[in-house]
C-alpha cells in the first residue's frame, strides 16, 4: 500500500528493531511473559500499539503507571534488568535480520544512518550479530545520545545533523506508532514498515493512522522503491 506522493530524499534513516533486525518479536515474547508473572496481562496487538518504539526509560515509566493502576503496586525493582537480560539471551541465539534487509540497504546509494531507541551497546551488538554493522558504521545512533526518546524527534534530528542533511530532506523508515510520531515531529518523510515478524495488518493500519506517508510490506518492495531514487 502506498499513501501520498513519492519524493526523492537526500538521506535515509532507519529504525533498527523490527525494521533491520527481527528483534521485536523476541522482545515482545519476553516482556509479555514477564508482565503476566506480575499480574499484567496484555493482548499482543494492544501491547504493540502502546509500547513499541519506546526507549527503556519511557517504557518502564509507562508500565509503572499501568501496574499501579491495575494491581495497586509497582513493578518489581528488577523488572527492567530481567527484561534486558532475557531479551539479550533471546537475541544471542535467535536473532536474524529482517528478510531481504541486507540486500536492500546495500543497494541504497544515499547516505544512511540508524536511529534507534535501543541502548548504544545493545544496538551495535544486534547489528553486528546480523552482519549489518559495517553497512551503517559510524552512523549508528542510540536514544542514549539525546535527552528525550521517541516519540520525541530528538534522535532523528541527531542523526540528520550527523549526516549533514536537513531533516526535511530525510526519509525515515519505522515500524512503530511512536517511531512514526518521532520522525514526523522531526519534519521527515516516513515510511511505515510492516515486514517484521511481529507485524500484522492491524499494526500496518496504525502506522498509516499515525501519519506514515507510505506503507511498505517487505524489503523487496523497499528495494524496488529505492531504485527510483536518483
pLDDT per position as a tens digit, 33-58: 999 999 999 988 888 888 887 878 88
Distance of alpha carbon 221 from alpha carbon 100, whole angstroms: 9
- Backbone φ and ψ of 114, nearest 5°: -110, 135
Residue 1, pLDDT above cutoff 50: no
Range 174-199 average pLDDT: 95
Give the per-residue pLDDT at 58: 86
Residues 6+ apart with CB under 8 A from 228: 6, 8
- For residue 103, what pLDDT band results from cuts at 50, 70 and 90? very high
Q: Which three cell numbers stand for residue 31?
A: 516482556
Q: At what angle do helices 44-51 and 201-209 cross, to 10 degrees?
A: 30
Supply 26's cell numbers: 523476541
Ranges for all domains in the chain classified under CATH 1.10.150.240: 25-94
Q: What percentage of the chain's residues is helix, strand, coil (to nearest 5)?
A: 50, 10, 35
Domain with CATH 3.40.50.1000 in the chain: 11-22+96-226
**CA 147-144-19 angle, 5° bins:** 115
pLDDT given at position 230 = 63
- Report the chain's mean pLDDT, rounded to a whole number: 92
Instruction: Count Cβ atoms below 10 Å from residue 57 Cβ, excluding itself.
Output: 14
Q: Where are the alpha helices (DSSP H) in 97-171?
A: 101-107, 120-129, 133-136, 154-163
Mean pLDDT of 208-225: 96
The CA distance from 27 to 126, in Å, is: 13
Rounded CA-CA distance 95/123 in Å is 12
CATH architecture, domain 25-94? Orthogonal Bundle (1.10)
Q: Does pLDDT of 3 surpass 60?
A: no
Whether pLDDT at 104 is above 60: yes
Residue-level pLDDT at 195:
94
**What is the pLDDT at residue 63?**
93
The listed CATH number (3.40.50.1000, 2.60.40.1220, 3.20.20.70, 3.40.50.300) that belongs to domain 11-22+96-226? 3.40.50.1000
Q: Which value, in Å, is the radius of gyration of the alpha carbons in the chain?
A: 17
pLDDT (mean) for 132-155: 96
pLDDT value at 7 more than 90: no
Report how far residue 101's alpha carbon sits from residue 72's, in angstroms, rounded to the nearest whole number: 43
Asked whether the predicted pLDDT for residue 4 surpasses 60, the reply is no
Three cell numbers, residue 218: 517487505
Amino acid at each position: 500500500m502506498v499513501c501520498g506522493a513519492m519524493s526523492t530524499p537526500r538521506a535515509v534513516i532507519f529504525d533498527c528493531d523490527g525494521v533491520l533486525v527481527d528483534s521485536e518479536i523476541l522482545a515482545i515474547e519476553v516482556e509479555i511473559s514477564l508482565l503476566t508473572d506480575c499480574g499484567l496481562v496484555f493482548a499482543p496487538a494492544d501491547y504493540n500499539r502502546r509500547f513499541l518504539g519506546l526507549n527503556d526509560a519511557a517504557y518502564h515509566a509507562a508500565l509503572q503507571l499501568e501496574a499501579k493502576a491495575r494491581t495497586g503496586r509497582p513493578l518489581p525493582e528488577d523488572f527492567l534488568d530481567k527484561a534486558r537480560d532475557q531479551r539479550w539471551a533471546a537475541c544471542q541465539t535467535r536473532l536474524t535480520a529482517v528478510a531481504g534487509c541486507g540486500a536492500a540497504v546495500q543497494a541504497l546509494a544515499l547516505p544512511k544512518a540508524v536511529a534507534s531507541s535501543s541502548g548504544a551497546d545493545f544496538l551495535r551488538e544486534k547489528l553486528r550479530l546480523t552482519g549489518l554493522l559495517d553497512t551503517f558504521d559510524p552512523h549508528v545512533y542510540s536514544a542514549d545520545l539525546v535527552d528525550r526518546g521517541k516519540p520525541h524527534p530528538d534522535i532523528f534530528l541527531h542523526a540528520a545533523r550527523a549526516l549533514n542533511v536537513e531533516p526535511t530532506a530525510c526519509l525515515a523508515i519505522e515500524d512503530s506508532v511512536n517511531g512514526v510520531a518521532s520522525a514526523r515531529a522531526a519534519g521527515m518523510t516516513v515510511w511505515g514498515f510492516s515486514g517484521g515478524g511481529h507485524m500484522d495488518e492491524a499494526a500496518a493500519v496504525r502506522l498509516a493512522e499515525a501519519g506514515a506517508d507510505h506503507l511498505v510490506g517487505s524489503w523487496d518492495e523497499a528495494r524496488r522503491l529505492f531504485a527510483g531514487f536518483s
